[in-house]
Amino acid sequence: MQILVVGSVALDDIQTPFGKRLGALGGSASHFSLAASLLSLVRIVAVVGQDFPRRYLDHLKKRGVDIAGIRLTTGETFRWRGHYEFDMNTAFTDETRLGVFATFNPELSLAERKAPVLFLGNIDPEIQLKVLKQMESPLFVGLDSMNFWIEQKKKELLKVIRRVDALFLNDAEVRQLAGEASLIKAGRHIQKLGPKMVLIKKGEHGVVCISRKFTFVAAAYPTEDVKDPTGAGDSFAGGVVSYLFSRLGPKISDPSEEIIRQAVIWGAAVASFCVEDFGTKGLDNLTRQKVQMRCHRIFEHTRFEPHD
């Protein structure tokens, strides 16, 4: 059984205070799949142009990612150029060239339609809806989005949100979508729209997970060597969804509080590797043992004895 991820595979030109990379492997589906492939089989549905380096496809395949759903078409691959200042929580977009991604119109194969788990990367909500309509009763659906879609296609985005199990947004996006200043109130408001859980990403300040029965506040791993935070949120999502699926299988639609908490910490640990290099390079040498060690470190950093 595979996790199906529908999203972008891109080339990123990135500059941070700690270096610069041109043509790095990027895109929501790339980061998600490399993070998730540590625990689960993953298949990508995306589109790339003729300029997309073959070595990146080979790399994904070598890491166990099923690339049969990546369509190669005439034109230029989606390319993002951006930079970060010393506040690495804020990305500045300098240029976006959609290329072949502008006409991305996924038609799923029979095998893809039957995938038990679906993750919808940060793409147009209308495309996300189209993908959902093609699926044959997935057990679990995860969703990521961004401020642009909240501003431009909120009505369509809300239709998608009603049909997902887990929603991944950052703190600013959650406040914007809910129209609430309080992050907890905003998360609870969105959770009542449909998702079983809302995972609020706060960068270096961790994650807030709001479900129907509990709220869990998790710290980020205290990474000292941050080079490029691009894709950390998608890597976090890949870690969370793959952990849930690897632990629960067909029972993923009904995760316990304990399993959700463990999945959030696993995702946070995976994301901490992503930020240590440019593009997806931080995920290249990922092993279960390395992630487990960071999960234990997060526990040690946050453990305390309560006072009476």
Check residue 116 and give its pLDDT: 97
Query: In this predicted model, what pLDDT tens digit does every residue of 131-146 receive, in sequence order?
Result: 999 999 999 999 999 9
Task: Give the 3-state secondary structure of residue 251.
Answer: helix
51 pLDDT above the threshold of 80: yes
The mean per-residue pLDDT over the stretch 267-293 comes to: 96
Computed from CA positions of residues 220, 221, 227, 231, in that sequence, does the dihedral angle turn out positive or negative?
Answer: negative
Query: In this predicted model, what pLDDT tens digit does every residue of 144-153 receive, in sequence order?
Result: 999 999 999 9
Computed from CA positions of residues 242, 114, 99, 50, in that sequence, does the dihedral angle turn out positive or negative?
Answer: positive
pTM assigned to the model:
0.96
- Alpha-carbon gap, residue 63 to 43, rounded angstroms: 12
DSSP string, 14-79: EEETTEEEEEEEESHHHHHHHHHTTTSEEEEEEEE-TTS-HHHHHHHHHTTEE-TTEEE-SSPPPE
Check residue 307 and give its pLDDT: 78
> What band does 1 get if pLDDT is binned at 50, 70 and 90?
low
Task: Copy the structure tokens of residue 187.
Answer: 């998360």
Query: In this predicted model, what pLDDT tens digit does every residue of 54-87 receive, in sequence order?
Result: 999 999 999 999 999 999 999 999 999 999 998 8
Task: Copy the structure tokens of residue 56.
Answer: 């990146």
The mean per-residue pLDDT over the stretch 276-305 comes to: 94
Query: In this predicted model, what pLDDT tens digit does every residue of 92-118 receive, in sequence order?
Result: 999 999 999 999 999 999 999 999 999
DSSP string, 110-121: HHHHT-SEEEE-
Question: In Å, how far are 80, 237, 302 from 266, measured between CA atoms?
Answer: 28, 10, 15
Give me the domains of the chain, ranges plus CATH numbers. 2-302 (3.40.1190.20)
Name the average pLDDT for the chain: 95
16 pLDDT above the threshold of 80: yes
